[in-house]
Amino acid sequence: MINNALKTKLEAAGFQFRTFKIEHLEEISNVFSDLAEQGILDMNFYRDNLTNFNFCCKNMMDNPKSVIVIASPQHKSFVEFRYEGKPYEAVIPPIYRYPEIKNKITDILNSVFTESSFSFTKPVLPLKLLAVKSGLGKYGRNNLCYVPSMGSFVMLNAYITDYEFEEDNWGDIQVLESCKNCTACIENCPTGAIANDKFLIRAQKCITNFNEYDVPMPDWMKPDWHNSVVGCMKCQVACPHNSSFIDMVDERIFFNAEESKLILNGCAFDNLSQETRNKISNSGLGDYYHVLPRNMRLLMD
């Protein structure tokens, strides 16, 4: 009953999902630490980025039973700033514009679970790994998750619930068959982050791991490698699995000259007008406001 209601509502919204037993979270809790210990994953990257997952969800909910992983199609958006009389446009890659999708999913889960007195909550989990292990998607050579009919332009979310789903979708990690004979993402990655001879990308060379944070850009990062207001699109743009979605644009967000000046000059978020704050939050850039002026200037320069 709950499974059918969830399926109907998520599919009507254009989303796909898989469910699996909560016990599997424990199975994968050591994946990243093992890779770091084996030297396959950079230890500093592991410490900084991969140690905050809630694999043990018992402190978040009494008796959690299942995990739901949801994939929603998401395309690039554009922001446009006006500065000193000139327009500057920049891409927001698909994964950043999440507030609208998250609200839609929350509404659906509320309508399905709350009426039946089951609960759900959203822990921090390695979403791509869960999507691949549950069969929702497959890894590409660029370590992104590809979902059928969405490509890598997908927003992933995972929730735990005290409802026990019958379906326990869990299996081996799958990689796209076409990666065997394709090197498009390797060739289009400006930094050399994607390796030909091993599966894990060199995360410490990925642009995303610099421009999402308030850290100095390394000397080896060439100015013309910057291509997005945050994150990087280069390996996704080159991938044949994304060719049907590459020109799709979800939204264009305009900041007028006054708003642009305040943002680019580093005005504190709370001192912006409510309207400007809403534009930033709805565009998914709220979490990245602290790096927005620097990133925009890198693109403008």
Binding site for ligand SF4 (CB under 6 A): 140-142, 176, 178-179, 182, 184-185, 189, 191, 193-194, 201, 206-208, 232, 234-235, 238-241
Name which of 25 and 185 has its Cβ closer to ligand SF4: 185
Name which of 204 and 282 has its Cβ closer to ligand SF4: 204
Close Cβ partners of 219 (under 8 Å, ≥ 6 residues apart): none
Name which of 19 and 143 has its Cβ closer to ligand SF4: 143
CB of 188 to ligand SF4, least distance (A): 6
CB of 93 to ligand SF4, least distance (A): 8
Could you tell me the two tokens for 153? 């332009």
Dist. CA 216–CA 201, nearest whole Å: 21
Name which of 120 and 146 has its Cβ closer to ligand SF4: 146
> Residue with the closest Cβ to ligand SF4?
140
CB of 55 to ligand SF4, least distance (A): 26
CB of 163 to ligand SF4, least distance (A): 35
Longest dimension (CA), the chain: 59
Name which of 53 and 225 has its Cβ closer to ligand SF4: 225
Dist. CA 67–CA 24, nearest whole Å: 9
Dist. CA 19–CA 69, nearest whole Å: 6
CB of 73 to ligand SF4, least distance (A): 17
Name which of 233 and 263 has its Cβ closer to ligand SF4: 233
Instruction: Count each helix (H run) and each strand (E run) in the chain, helices first.
Output: 12, 9
Strands annotated E in the chain: 16-21, 66-73, 76-83, 86-92, 120-121, 138-139, 145-146, 154-161, 249-254
Close Cβ partners of 141 (under 8 Å, ≥ 6 residues apart): 175, 176, 179, 182, 185, 186, 194, 199
CB of 147 to ligand SF4, least distance (A): 13
CB of 140 to ligand SF4, least distance (A): 3
Dist. CA 227–CA 251, nearest whole Å: 18
Name which of 6 and 235 has its Cβ closer to ligand SF4: 235
